[in-house]
């Protein structure tokens, strides 16, 4: 089994509830979304270099597993990201990788499920051995019409305390839409509000959260960018 992998590396998780945890990133190539291109504003994708399905090298499943093991002999968090790890051929590869890693980590019982950072345009309800960082693309992304709403219901109803739903907020319209989605779908759990880096300051987003008394929202910053800037592979 093969898929195109852009990079595999060790760092710390930069966002969400796992911020700061040592993490091995497996970045797949290929994503059909173009976030930020709302008709008048530019692409904001963090990883435009991985958008093409050919932006990497074809790797066998066992080679990916071997590289993960060579990076850390101790089980640590594995994050499947992209690109989009659930799009096209990446999907079955990610699912099988998650299954194999769970089997190999049964004895230790540590990080037996991989974390999958997914763009909201791929179904997640039929996947196993994964926890999800699920994006909901807001109007400022220009991609809201690509969202699979059943994904929100799935995360809400399974009540896994490691799942999270992320709202990347560009402006006040995006923030207001975030509240509509949370209230409309009665979402609970780990709900992340993240400002578009370089476009919306964290201070303004915090003010909006406070003004609306949203104790259900957690501010999530891209801490890796504050540490290393736009540097890749960190």
Binding residue numbers for [4Fe-4S] cluster = 31, 35, 45
- Binding-site residue set: 12-14, 27, 31, 35, 44-47, 81, 83
- Binding-site residue set for Mg(2+): 47
Instruction: Output the six-digit token pair for 212.
Output: 């609306």
Residue 122: phi and psi, rounded to 5, are -120, 140
User: CB 53: neighbour CB atoms within 10 A?
Assistant: 19
Instruction: Output the six-digit token pair for 76.
Output: 């640590």
- CA quadruple 132, 128, 25, 191: dihedral, nearest 10: 10
Find out whether 85 and 94 touch, Cβ atoms under 8 Å: yes
- Binding-site residue set for substrate: 12-14, 27, 81
Find out whether 65 and 55 touch, Cβ atoms under 8 Å: no
- Binding-site residue set for S-adenosyl-L-methionine: 44-46, 83
Helices (H) and strands (E) in the chain, counts: 6, 9
């Amino acid at each position: 089994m093969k898929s195109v992998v852009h990079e595999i590396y060790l760092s710390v998780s930069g966002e969400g509830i796992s911020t700061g945890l040592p993490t091995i990133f497996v970045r797949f190539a290929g994503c059909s979304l173009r976030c930020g291109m709302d008709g008048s504003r530019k692409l904001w994708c963090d990883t435009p270099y991985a958008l093409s399905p050919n932006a990497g090298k074809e790797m066998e499943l066992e080679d990916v597993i071997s590289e993960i093991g060579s990076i850390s002999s101790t089980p640590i968090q594995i994050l499947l990201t992209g690109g989009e790890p659930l799009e096209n051929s990446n999907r079955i590869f990610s699912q099988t990788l998650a299954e194999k890693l769970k089997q190999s980590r049964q004895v230790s019982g540590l990080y037996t499920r991989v974390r999958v950072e997914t763009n909201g345009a791929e179904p997640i309800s039929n996947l196993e051995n994964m926890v999800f960082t699920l994006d909901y693309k807001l109007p400022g992304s220009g991609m809201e019409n690509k969202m699979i709403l059943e994904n929100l219901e799935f995360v809400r109803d399974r009540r896994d305390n490691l799942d999270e739903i992320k709202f990347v907020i560009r402006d006040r319209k995006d923030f207001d839409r975030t509240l509509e989605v949370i209230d409309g779908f009665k979402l609970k759990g780990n709900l992340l509000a993240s400002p578009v880096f370089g476009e919306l300051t964290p201070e303004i987003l915090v003010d909006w959260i406070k003004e609306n008394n949203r104790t259900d929202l957690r501010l999530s910053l891209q801490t890796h960018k504050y540490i290393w800037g736009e540097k890749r592979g960190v």
